[in-house]
Amino acid sequence: MSSPQQERSSGVQLVSALLLLLSLSGCLSMDVLVPNDINALNGTTIIIPCTFTSCYKIDLTKFAMNWTYQETLNNTEEKFMTYDKKKGMQPVPSNRFGERVVFSGNLDKNDLSITLQDVQLEDEGIYNCYVRNPPDRIQGHGLINFNVVTELPPPRDSTIAVAIGASVGGALALLILSMVVVKCLRRHRKQELISEEKMEEEGKLEPEAVAEEGTKLP
């Protein structure tokens, strides 16, 4: 039979092992944060953001990331930005982008954003941000649908908005005025009814008063 001290020691070891497993389970994955869709105006410069959260600080000797492009989900991915352990973030030679893509993030802040200059119609497609940050075991992935437009949406017509606002305001004013008028008429009618009732009561009392005066002795 084991002694109480041995049982207590075994219990402490079991609890420690469970706490260790729980602490590790919370750090088995990471989250890559990117917008689902980006609309860029043709010919402009735009930032394509990508950040990530991790339980561990970046170890530059183990860290890895890639930016890739693909026209559709069925097309092959083309790598155009990567992390080099000696040179840091580096663009990968690309016929599509040339020198139009530069790294604009900050590794110390887990920011892997890039800047795309002189946006072209051919740049439309899917942009993937892949991140690996050991000892996180799972590779993070963010997917962005990048749309290129040739013109901005037309501005809202303020004249129509003002006209609608004036119409609504006028209708509300008329409604309030109508309610006030109805209320005043009801109050006036109520006062008339009260006056009529008083006059009727006074008319009933007058004959009685005359009769009483007639019965008095001279």
Among 30-44, 97-111, 166-180, name the one with the lowest average pLDDT. 166-180
Tens of pLDDT along 14-43? 334 433 343 444 455 689 999 999 999 999
Give this prediction's pTM. 0.60
pLDDT at 157 > cutoff 60: no
Structure tokens at 211: 């009769």
What is the DSSP annotation of 60-83?
TTT-EEEEEEESSTTSPPEEEEEE
Query: CA 73, CA 84: separation in Å to the nearest integer?
Result: 27
Mean pLDDT on 125-135: 96
Query: CA 189, CA 56: separation in Å to the nearest integer?
Result: 81
Show Cβ contacts of residue 147 under 8 Å, excluding neighbours closer than 6 positions: 37, 38, 39, 40, 124
